[in-house]
Amino acid sequence: MDYASQNILPHAPSAGFTLIELLITLAVLSIVLGLGIPGISALTESSRLRAVTHNLTSAIQLARSEAVNRRTTTAVCQINTNASACDFTASWRNGWIVVVANQPGANLQVAAGVTVVRRWEGINLAINGGANGLVFESSGRSLASSQLDTDSGSDKRCLFVSTTGRIAVVDDDDDPNDRCA
């Protein structure tokens, strides 16, 4: 038989996928996605925690720098409802601000006594510690050593601020010696 004259190929390749090939591909894809999605959410949560820790560290460094440059008391503290002064009874989750005292001995919780340098919006993570904010003298020294703990529920980071103004960030990796409780 002459196939060339009849324009018929004995085994013509198919131009598409069979239903079984398509179902197997979808099954493999769903398994891979099912395994990968939890890892992506943990990565996203860890990234959010690092970003918040970085923002807090930046705020602390800014407050210390402003204290030295302006030669006055500054603070990083929980934001009040008007975003105009500190509110030591508020939650860090509502946001925080860096304020500069307008005069020595000014009340940091009264808007007339401070100038807001910068503010950070609220976040959906738990932040504990530093109930009275972090206050720096004109020398750049902190009035007291403090600890702020950021917690995403599955991960935790701790910021330690010494009286010299030095900041240390520690990941909570369940090491009992790392001070992040």
Residue 176: inside a domain: no
Residue 145 to residue 134: CA distance in whole angstroms: 8
Q: Which residue has the higher pLDDT, 94 or 43?
A: 94
Looking at the predicted structure, is the pLDDT value of residue 2 above 60?
no
Residue 8: inside a domain: no
What is the arithmetic mean of pLDDT over 150-175?
84
Q: What's the CATH code of the domain at 48?
A: 3.55.40.10
Residue 123: inside a domain: yes
Residue 178: inside a domain: no
Residue 115 to residue 102: CA distance in whole angstroms: 7
pLDDT of residue 158: 87
Tokens found for residue 102: 């307008």
pLDDT tens digit string along 91-106?
Answer: 898 999 999 999 888 8
Residue 12: inside a domain: no
Is there a contact between 121 and 145 (Cβ–Cβ < 8 Å)?
A: no
Residue 2: inside a domain: no
Residue 121 to residue 46: CA distance in whole angstroms: 19
Q: Which residue has the higher pLDDT, 66 or 177?
A: 66
State whether the Cα torsion 69-75-79-83 is positive or negative.
negative
Q: What is the mean pLDDT of the chain?
A: 85
Q: Which of 25-29, 107-111, 153-157 is least confident?
A: 153-157
Q: Which of 26-35, 121-130, 169-178 is least confident?
A: 169-178
Pairing state between β 134-136 and 146-151? unpaired
Q: Structural domain tally of the chain? A: 1
What is the arithmetic mean of pLDDT over 147-166?
86
pLDDT of residue 3: 53
Find the domain containing 129 and state its range.
Answer: 18-171
Residue 99 to residue 101: CA distance in whole angstroms: 7
Residue 4: inside a domain: no
Amino acid at 129: G
Looking at the predicted structure, is the pLDDT value of residue 142 above 80?
yes
Residue 153: inside a domain: yes
